[in-house]
Amino acid sequence: MKIADIYKSKSLTTSFEVFPPNDKVGLEQVYNCLDILSLEKPDYISVTYGAGGNTKGRTVEIADRIKRQNGLESLAHLTCIGAKKEEIDRVLEDLEKNNIENILALRGDYPVDRELEKGDFNYARELIEYIHKKKGDKFSIGAAYYVEGHRETNDILDLFYLKEKVNAGVDFLISQIFLDNEFFYSFRDKLEKLQINIPLVAGIMPVTNAKQIKKITSLCSCTIPKKFLKILEKYEDNPPALKEAGLAYAIEQVVDLVASDINGIHLYTMNKPETAKKIIDATGIIRHE
């Protein structure tokens, strides 16, 4: 089923994200994670596309497994930076062969440790146009957005480029992690004024250890609210308490978003199903409809 149709039929969706591992042991762990997550009956599960290159082939494999073995809809991420059209063509063929109907079309990040070979795409918008040109309406396409703006571009330009990206043929948008819902609400107002009316999904990552927060702040421009900083300071030497506090924070965030009519909650599971399950249990979002 196309995710565009899921958003048409439901006022609130719940989805999960997993990432492909580097080795066979990791693959078993992901499959185990998927088996647990699927019991929650989410609307779909997404699979990231490895920026480093060595896990790229696994995205389609895992997305296929989600459909066939877990009986759920899957969303395959696809990045284009540094890619030639031939590579994208191969992935599209593979997705089609496996009956995967949904793509999260992304640019990807520039690697910090090596030069990137010149590819055929500069921005996600070009990938979206390319997929539509090659495959028509075969795929339902989602894209990324940033409630605090993307770190490479100022806020206004970023909104302008987002509008261009959506106009290229995007059915839904999933956000980068944010920890302060007020950024989301003010961003949603701006999109309304720009007449961007497609479903906006909130990407929520329960921060359950100090390492994660460092990673988040280094990867994206995400403001750490005072309330959250206090939690970090209070519990940094007590990992179990920090885990519980981080989980409680994410639950509060989700409840507030649902009360404010969010279209969808997308949980970044980090391949750890227990935390996602606790959020589902505490918020009741899957039984919402």
Query: Where are the strands (E) in 4-146, listed by range?
Result: 13-18, 44-47, 73-79, 102-106, 140-145
Task: Name which of 103 and 231 has its Cβ closer to ligand FAD.
Answer: 103
Tell me which residue of 156, 155, 139 sits closest to 95, measured CA to CA: 139
Question: Which CB, 152 or 236, lies closer to ligand FAD?
Answer: 152
Out of 17, 40, 73, 101, the active site residue is 17
Residues that bind ligand FAD (CB under 6 A): 48-49, 51, 77, 79, 104, 106-109, 123-125, 144, 150, 152-153, 157-158, 161, 165, 174, 176, 203
Taking the complex as a whole, the smallest distance from the CB of residue 177 to ligand FAD amounts, in Å, to: 8
- Amino acid (1-letter code) at residue 97: K
Cβ proximity to ligand FAD, 177 vs 231, nearer residue: 177
The enclosing H or E element of 32 equals: helix 24-38
Among all chains, which residue has been given the structure tokens 């921005």? 123
N- to C-terminal Cα distance for the chain?
19
Shortest Cβ distance from residue 172 to ligand FAD (Å)? 11
Q: Yes or no: say if 222 and 178 are a contact pair by the CB < 8 Å rule.
A: yes
Taking the complex as a whole, the smallest distance from the CB of residue 196 to ligand FAD amounts, in Å, to 13
Q: Measured from the CB atom, is 81 or 231 closer to ligand FAD?
A: 81
Q: 105 by DSSP, 3-state: which? A: strand
Instruction: Mark whether 17 is an active-site residue.
Output: yes
Write phi, then psi, for 29 (nearest 5 degrees): -65, -40
| SS3 state at 80 | coil
The answer to whether residues 262 and 200 touch, using CB atoms and an 8 Å cutoff, is: yes
Residues 6+ apart with CB under 8 A from 210: 232, 236, 239, 242
Q: Which is nearer to ligand FAD, 231 or 270 (CB)?
A: 270
Closest distance to ligand FAD from the beta carbon of 216 (Å): 12
Minimum CB separation from ligand FAD for residue 224, in Å? 18
Which residues are designated catalytic? 17
